Amino acid sequence: MLEEIIIAGFGGQGVMLAGQLLVRACMLEDLEVSWIPSYGPEMRGGTANCSVVISDEAIGSPVVSEPSTVLAMNLPSVEKYLPLVKKGGLFIYNSTLVETIPQREDLEIVAVGANQVADELGNARAANMVMLGAFLAKRPLVGPTRIMESLGAILPPHRQNLLPLNEKALIRGTELASSL
């Protein structure tokens, strides 16, 4: 098994955190992982993406040039990464922020209203967890419990109160993508 993933969006959308959580959760399952962040020159609002490679064997290269999966949080990410996904791959996009439906006949394309769901749950910043939940529904490499265990380990004490919200967002994303 080899999964090469790009998670992309604007800075401040939790792209890096989603990648880190996925990597930590997979490490708990004794999978081989790599994570490479990439930031635009701006702080918030600039581009941000990370490459995650997950395998049950040693990883030859952490560089992802032809991802098997992309999680696109915004329109610029859709435009940049849709053409790069390998044939037969998975493309999950945030349909709250992307009005144009991405088109490719050779991919599984999943629309998730991540920001809408996060807003309904009471915190727009949980959109990354909705997207991560959708990914886990389509590629169950780890369970939501492992993601939440990883989040609990990295959140500082004064942010532990956000765990229930993030768990709801993760589960809601999983439910949405499972129904598609």
How many other CB atoms sit within 10 Å of the CB of residue 41? 6
pLDDT computed for residue 42 by the predictor: 55
Structure tokens at 118: 């996060």
Give me Rg for the CA atoms of the chain: 15
What is the distance between the alpha carbons of residues 131 and 146, in angstroms, rounded to a whole number? Answer: 16
pLDDT computed for residue 12 by the predictor: 84
From first to last of its 180 residues, the chain has per-residue pLDDT tens of 999 999 999 988 999 999 999 999 999 999 999 999 997 765 556 779 999 999 999 999 899 999 999 999 999 999 999 999 999 999 999 999 999 999 999 999 999 999 999 999 999 999 999 999 999 999 999 999 999 999 999 999 999 999 999 999 999 999 999 987
pLDDT computed for residue 45 by the predictor: 62
Q: Could you give the domains of the chain?
A: 2-178 (3.40.920.10)
Structure tokens at 60: 């030859």
pLDDT computed for residue 169 by the predictor: 98
pLDDT computed for residue 138 by the predictor: 98
With b for 16 or more beta-carbon neighbours within 10 A and e for fewer, the 53-85 pattern comes to bbbeeeeeeeebeebbbbbbbbbbbbebbbeeb
pLDDT computed for residue 71 by the predictor: 98
pLDDT computed for residue 11 by the predictor: 85
